[in-house]
Structure 1
């Protein structure tokens, strides 16, 4: 249950932010049958060959010079080879849930590519992109076996959306170095131990650092001025006072703090004046500070906390417009 809650939030937020394959501003037909598409080559802009038991990209795919989006999710593809000048207009490539171990974009290949999705594969190395023309804005690599991030990644300098969840990284902090344009970064279960203090992320609105053993003292809200969504679930809170660093995110609207070992909520929670939704599932809270009643919360999750009956009554009296969820 805990895993599903966190991952559902991550998926919805990130999927909605990047340019979507099914974006309503695209009027082109979505082809799902390769043979049919080959009969209308010049009219094919979007091709979805998901769940078709493919072990390789069919050669026919490379005949579509106007192709902009290619979806090959849920197949059995193990390796890829791109040749120069193939798929010259391709912008969106998704190869989720395959068996790919290495991924390489050589020079003069996929010049227009801006979104790449390789989640749930068998990658043991970070994708190698040696084509200097490629400038990704979205990269998603969740649930692979990547253990090291490259120090130099020119193709990521314009990156806005980056997902690295569930990779056993030795140097996860490098993810913060790639792009000053980052808007959404997800680092669930990546071995992250501290947040960098060398940059100010002026564009970041969503930050997921859950499932890591992070020193709360390294979380400097002044580096993340626009963050509206913060997920710190499963990040052990050793000293309750350390939570004060979280209350410094002045623009925070959504806070997810599930199972962090919280025994009391600091009065400084009142600093989060823009907070609208808070999740404190599976902690050890018995009471809430009076300061929380000053917030204009729309929703608060308190399931699986030993909340006292007196506190429940106070919450109901002082937060009549707030949807409050307790354990049955």
Structure 2
């Protein structure tokens, strides 16, 4: 009985899907296959997903418009030059058209709102500008525009109030608009492999952001406000000038032997008698300071790297990003912002 139930469920699911992927079919042949669903039984009303990726479509299959209950359409890896407003006819939740030949003129001037589109994937095409018409799809949660030739991000992107994932990697973007900070539900922001030199300070307003991918850009600095991103667990920064500079500074400006020796004595509470250590070091010990942060047990003399908040998880090794000096600056840290120190990796 259990096997029968499972088979029945699989059968029900397969009845709702038209899967013609990897068949290398042209547009006419796809239309002929879809035409089989328009019979007296009205099977087309049951279809919820049409999978057409990895075929040889040069034109959009006209019969797709007739599936009035369609919620998922995958047209990836074809040769499409035009993407019509399929939302006008189908209540799509997911529209995937990555890796085609779509340009700025390939998209409809506006998308209809009949559907509740939540996912739009136009990655791997030839878009040169951010498609402004996308900003009217206010139900979007996932927007993928990576691997195009875009030079900008629309200032109207703030309208996508439900967006959770934004992917712009592999474009030619140099400017990140400040309005991006208004996307309160954003969890993943992919900006890697672009030409970005700076980030707006109000990116710190993305309090739900978990992943920020910035590798392969031209970043020399990061806004200090980024420390406010408490939920951020992944930040990739490799192949940016700021990482190269940071590593160079760490390599060429190590702590002095005097600093290191005094630090070890203080941190390990080593008892020192007269004559045990040079007078220079003995005098230096009296200049030690303890961090005023109650969660920090650090001691410093000239300076000390006390905390690394974000590291790069995308490379083969971890790269220190933000260094906090256990110094007078720590006294300005508010009680709420005090952070548990970690070792430099």
User: Which of the five TM-score ranges fits, normalised by the shorter chain?
Assistant: 0.5 to 0.7
Equivalence for 2:34: 61
Query: What RMSD over aligned residues (CA atoms) do the two structures have, in Å?
Result: 3.7
Deviation sequence 1:75-117 (CA, Å, 0-9, x none): 110111446961111101111110001110257511x111011
Which of 70, 77, 85 does residue 57 from structure 2 map onto?
77
Equivalence for 2:93: 114
Which of 116, 119, 141 does residue 135 from structure 1 map onto?
116
The answer to whether structure 1 residue 279 and structure 2 residue 279 are counterparts is no
Matches within 5 A, 1:302-317: 315=345
Instruction: Give the Cα separation in 2 of the matches to 1:46 and 1:98.
Output: 19
Q: Pick the structure with greater CA Rg.
A: 2
Equivalence for 1:211: 193
Instruction: Give the Cα separation in 2 of the matches to 1:290 and 1:113.
Output: 49
Please report how far the alpha carbon of residue 246 of structure 1 lies from its aligned counterpart in structure 2 after TM superposition: 3.9
Instruction: Give the Cα separation in 2 of the matches to 1:68 and 1:280.
Output: 37
Kept in 2, the 8 Å contact 1:76–1:99? The answer is yes
Question: TM-score, normalising length from structure 2?
Answer: 0.63
Long gaps (5+) in structure 2: 1-7, 38-43, 251-303, 326-338
| Structure 1 residues 286 and 49, CA gap change in structure 2 (3 angstroms) | closer
| Structure 1 residues 30 and 52, CA gap change in structure 2 (3 angstroms) | farther
Equivalence for 1:320: none
Deviation sequence 1:157-187 (CA, Å, 0-9, x none): 1110001001112433357345111100000
Please report how far the alpha carbon of residue 223 of structure 1 lies from its aligned counterpart in structure 2 after TM superposition: 2.9
Kept in 2, the 8 Å contact 1:185–1:207? The answer is yes
Please report how far the alpha carbon of residue 66 of structure 1 lies from its aligned counterpart in structure 2 after TM superposition: 0.9
Instruction: Give the Cα separation in 2 of the matches to 1:210 and 1:159.
Output: 21
Instruction: Give the Cα separation in 1 of the matches to 2:223 and 2:306.
Output: 9
| Structure 1 residues 215 and 236, CA gap change in structure 2 (3 angstroms) | closer
Instruction: Give the Cα separation in 1 of the matches to 2:190 and 2:61.
Output: 33
Instruction: Give the Cα separation in 2 of the matches to 1:269 and 1:194.
Output: 33
Please report how far the alpha carbon of residue 233 of structure 1 lies from its aligned counterpart in structure 2 after TM superposition: 0.5
Please report how far the alpha carbon of residue 207 of structure 1 lies from its aligned counterpart in structure 2 after TM superposition: 0.5
Equivalence for 1:305: none
Kept in 1, the 8 Å contact 2:16–2:46? The answer is yes
Please report how far the alpha carbon of residue 29 of structure 1 lies from its aligned counterpart in structure 2 after TM superposition: 3.7
The answer to whether structure 1 residue 247 and structure 2 residue 219 are counterparts is no
Matches within 5 A, 1:1-328: 27-29=9-11, 44-56=15-27, 57-62=30-35, 63=37, 64-82=44-62, 86-105=66-85, 108-110=88-90, 112-125=91-104, 127-128=107-108, 130-153=111-134, 156-174=137-155, 176-198=157-179, 200-239=182-221, 242=222, 244-261=224-241, 262=243, 263-264=245-246, 270=307, 272=309, 278-279=312-313, 281=315, 294=340, 315=345
Long gaps (5+) in structure 1: 1-25, 32-42, 297-310, 316-328
| SS of structure 2 residue aligned to 1:216 | coil
Kept in 2, the 8 Å contact 1:151–1:174? The answer is no
Instruction: Give the Cα separation in 2 of the matches to 1:170 and 1:66.
Output: 42
Instruction: Give the Cα separation in 1 of the matches to 2:116 and 2:168.
Output: 21
| Structure 1 residues 287 and 72, CA gap change in structure 2 (3 angstroms) | closer
Instruction: Give the Cα separation in 1 of the matches to 2:194 and 2:214.
Output: 8
| SS of structure 2 residue aligned to 1:162 | strand
